[in-house]
Amino acid sequence: MKLQNYAMGQWIAGNGEGKPLYDAITGEVIATASSDGLNFGEMLEYGRQTGGRTLRNMTFHERGRMLKELALYLLERKNQFYDLSYRTGATKADSWIDIEGGIGNLFAYSSLRRQFPDETYYVDGDTAPLSKGGSFIGHHIMVPKRGVAVHINAFNFPIWGMLEKTAVNWLAGVPAVVKPATVTSYLTEAMVREIHASGILPKGALQLICGSANGILDYVESQDVVTFTGSASTGRMLKSHPRIIDEAIPFNMEADSLNASVLGADATPGTEEFDLFIKEVGREMTVKCGQKCTAIRRIIVPSHLVEDVQIALGKRLASTTIGDPRVEGVRMGALAGKTQVAEVRERVEQLAEEQRIVYGDLDQFDVTGADKSKGAFLSPILMVNENPFQNTRVHNLEAFGPVSTIMPYDTLDQAVELTRMGKGSLVCSMATYDNDLAREFTLEAAAHHGRILILNRDCAKESTGHGSPMPLLAHGGPGRAGGGEEMGGKRGVAHYMQRTAIQGSPTTLTKITNVYQYGGAQNETDVHVFRKHFEELEIGDTVITAKHTVSEADIVNFANVSGDNFYAHMDATSLEGTIFEQRVAHGYFVLSKAAGLFVDAKKGPVLLNYGLDECRFTKPVYPGMTIGVRFTVKEKIDQEKRSEDDIAKGIVKFLVDVYDETGETVALATILTMVKKLDQN
């Protein structure tokens, strides 16, 4: 079978015989792959003009709903991918990470749409006041880049590696060209075929290259984004491509790193943390046969516990059955191919020149349900390095397989220094129940790691573990790990958008952002805003309320109702040395009274008030002062119906500007209301 590339809306088999792809278990040829004949320049331009145009015209909410629909579609068809995944050498548990973990990223970024407006762009951060009188302000908006995300992925996660990135760029409004590692591209191709069959993505949103993508970087442009996952050496070569440099193209690199796990001094044998540590290290050595960019390569333990850790880990690894992942009881499958086995063997032999193997053998191990000579099998290899400050190859050389090294430390400073000697990693972890120790370690080590997990009995049941990047947390790391960052929730989406500073009057920036800017023009209407349906409200619609003169009785009554008898409100003799001139009204009284002034009490389109944002009390309110409210439509957020019977509605944010008799603002807040729509379809 010859794999096909998906380019410019068509399935295209490359010219020539193609590169053979092998079953990691049996050694049989599964398929061949070739990209000969593809025009990479035309593919990128097709993505920009066809996919990009459509995605940019969709709002964040529309893109998010698209991701959810796609995730549901793929989840219903997930089982078909498992049979093919076994051929990559993955067990069912390994495949779950790749297949359902990948689909989970689509769900996660679909849900993230609620943190964005129902617009094609995003208003970022707070307004910056740029003038004394308030007539000149600044803000930031973020718009989708008008290019393509080119994803060059690794062989170890053919599905997750694609979906964890494309979920982010699609939510941002940017199309993708995906280049999986050819050795396992048959699984990526199967997923892309199903995505295409769904018809959910717009044309040009996703293209696939199964064969070589050599030369594709010759065609990238300044609005494109390139991401790379794989070896640091390959990443550095790609990052230095003249086109990347000349066009100043964002290049996000996530490279394999020498991740470490530290056993806290308190986590001695017999403690829950010691057992959790052994379990976690053993799992990270054997999941995906250790072929994970986040796998634990360096096991850093107190000097007097080296032997205990060695024995416990040896026992755990001895219980790991190696073989065909489809056979009952097999817990570790094969590496992706014999090329990977040869590379790992070479690295182990190099490491063994400075340290000793204490568990496992490169040649002598049993395989269940398969022919060891035909498949890409390897035993877990556990090593010990007694002098990690002198024998430093372990901090510079990675065996990308089920290989890890125990090394001792005497002080926390030494433990931190050993983690730093890896020169930057994607993840570091520590097993400890001492929170002071956890704090000190984290603050000292954080600069060298993209993520730190503190593992203990309190979080163990729900912890996703050392090696699991989470969709809404940043994944990446400094130094050897590439210096990049992907996923990370809204942070990741921003990677595919251009942040632009905008300047002008509050009224102008209100129009540009579709978010009311303080000091902008207000539209006073005869009809109270609480009498208007969602569609009828416009940004800037304002109610100027009646006024109320605050009295001492108001302060006393509010104290009685609320129980807030703070001295500044109740004891005029205690104000010396404070900023207050006399008894001051409670801030929450001011806000509560404001609600009494701006609320229209009769039943209408407003269904409920469900939140309060950005509440600030900016000036003391004393008895005798008179307050009023400027109540303005600040922002509108559409909501989809959850069911046929659900009420069609949207969220409206109102700016509550409470001012005194001089016209000066004394309190500012944003309230969130749920408002019914006229159209109930």
Catalytic residues: 254, 293
- Residue found under tokens 């893109």: 63
Angle at 39 between CA 181 and CA 498, to 5 degrees: 75
Continuous H helices in 184-301: 185-198, 232-239, 242-246, 272-286
In degrees and rounded to multiples of 5, residue 134 shows phi and psi of: 85, 5
Number of Cβ within 10 Å of residue 478's Cβ equals: 18
Residue 588 falls in which region: left (phi positive, over 0), alpha (psi -120 to 50) or beta: alpha
Measured between alpha carbons, how far is 651 from 673 in angstroms, rounded to an integer? 6
Contacts with 164 (C-beta within 8 Å, 6 or more apart), sequence order: 101, 102, 105, 469, 471, 475, 486, 487
Measured between alpha carbons, how far is 396 from 202 in angstroms, rounded to an integer? 44
Three-state secondary structure call for residue 414? helix
Tell me how far CA of residue 492 lies from CA of 144, 227, 262, 534, in angstroms.
Answer: 13, 12, 29, 31
Q: How far is CA 8 from the centre of its chain?
A: 29
Residue 74: both structure tokens together: 């793929």
- Residue found under tokens 């978010």: 515
Measured between alpha carbons, how far is 149 from 153 in angstroms, rounded to an integer? 12
Q: Which long-range contacts (CB under 8 A, 24 or more apart) does 503-506 make?
A: 503/130, 503/136, 503/137, 503/138, 504/136, 504/137, 505/135, 505/136, 505/137, 506/134, 506/135, 506/137
Name residue 193's beta-bridge partners.
none
Contacts with 96 (C-beta within 8 Å, 6 or more apart), sequence order: none
Closest CA to 290 of 322, 315, 243: 322
Closest CA to 180 of 172, 190, 170, 171: 190
Compute the CA torsion angle 329, 334, 336, 342 (nearest 10 deg).
170
Amino acid code (one letter) for 676? K
Tell me how far CA of residue 358 lies from CA of 310, 344, 351, 594, in angstroms.
Answer: 8, 17, 13, 72
Closest CA to 201 of 113, 79, 97, 74: 74
Whether 162 and 153 have beta carbons less than 8 Å apart is answered as yes
Q: Which residues of 102-117 are buried (b: 16+ CB within 10 A; e: fewer)?
A: bbbbbbbbbebbeebb
Quick one: which H or E segment has residue 615?
strand 606-617
Q: How far is CA 270 from the centre of its chain?
A: 36
